[in-house]
Structure 1
């Protein structure tokens, strides 16, 4: 059975990220809380590799390296491209930008997730530390993606809402994924 909050919508962004990853480019996803940044990152690498490490830049660089080496021992493959999903990229420092370069030198491709726009100084550190990357700001879901999201939740939560109700909700609700989940659960 699928998780009730599994990925739906954002096909354009998903394709853009996957194309970038195919080229070996890193990706920076930014947006407000609850926009689906982490879910989009996880979905983006799902078909590429079973070897995905998720790290938080809240941890010091030594801890990050320890986690990474432990992950490499658990999944000792050289034939598969390795991906790292980095949360809290806004907490960039010189040591952490060196860690990103270390990742790139070891052949990792990373998707960095940050909330509400990365400050210019940190963005310069990111650009300095890595191979080419794209920046993808997430905003509200489109009306079509909002409808698809509501339809998926309706189906998975077995709410029994009619199509007309979902279309009306998609028109009046802003496409903020976390708010949509809360709203439809309250109906």
Structure 2
């Protein structure tokens, strides 16, 4: 009897993988539809936004007295327009001195305003639809199923794996 029990146990152990394998097989299912699925993507496109801006720039005097001389001539000409007699001479001298002083001060100013083109990189945004995957609907034994894939089915039938398991 012990011998018979050992044979039964050995037989069950040998058959167990066959029972597990018997619960899964492949079959064919009919493809009902294949739908392209698209996703929205935001596209960022760079562009240059340029404008003119006043900026301070270092300026050094050129070391010559040309600016002061030119300022004194203009100041003297303006001062000459005012006053009468000796007053006219005094206004001319005062205008010349004031013009030279203004030109000298302007030359001593370490900065001057200049127009400079400034460009910034900005981005425009647009939406674009891109292919994502296929939604495949199929029928197997009267029931409808679906799955997603990146590969389009080549035929009207697909291979399906059928698993049978007890509850």
Band of TM-score, shorter chain: under 0.3
TM-score normalized by the length of structure 2? 0.17
Bigger strand share: 2
TM-score normalized by the length of structure 1? 0.16
Bigger helix share: 1
Of structures 1 and 2, the one with the larger relative CO (CA 8 A, separation 6+) is: 2
